[in-house]
Amino acid sequence: MEIFFSKGEKETFEIGLKISKFLVCGDVLLLSGEIGAGKTNLAKGICEGLGICETITSPTFTIANEYKPEKKNLQGLEKVVHFDFYRIEREDEFYNLGLDDYFCESSICLIEWYEKAKNFLPVFSKKVTIEFVGFTERKISFSGSNPKP
When binding is defined by CB under 8 A, the residue of 3, 61, 76, 131 that contacts another protein is 61
Cβ at position 108, least distance to another protein in Å: 15
Q: Contact between 40 and another protein (CB under 8 A)?
A: yes
Listed in sequence order, the residues at least 6 apart from 75 whose beta carbon sits closer than 8 Å to its beta carbon are 25
End-to-end, the C-alpha distance of the chain in Å comes to 17
In the chain the beta strands, taken as DSSP E runs, fall at 2-6, 28-32, 64-67, 79-84, 107-112, 126-133, 137-143
When binding is defined by CB under 8 A, the residue of 1, 55, 72, 123 that contacts another protein is 55
**SS3 category, 15:** helix
When binding is defined by CB under 8 A, the residue of 67, 113, 114, 142 that contacts another protein is 67
Binding site for another protein (CB under 8 A): 9, 34-36, 40-41, 55, 57-58, 60-67, 87-89, 93, 96-98, 101, 135
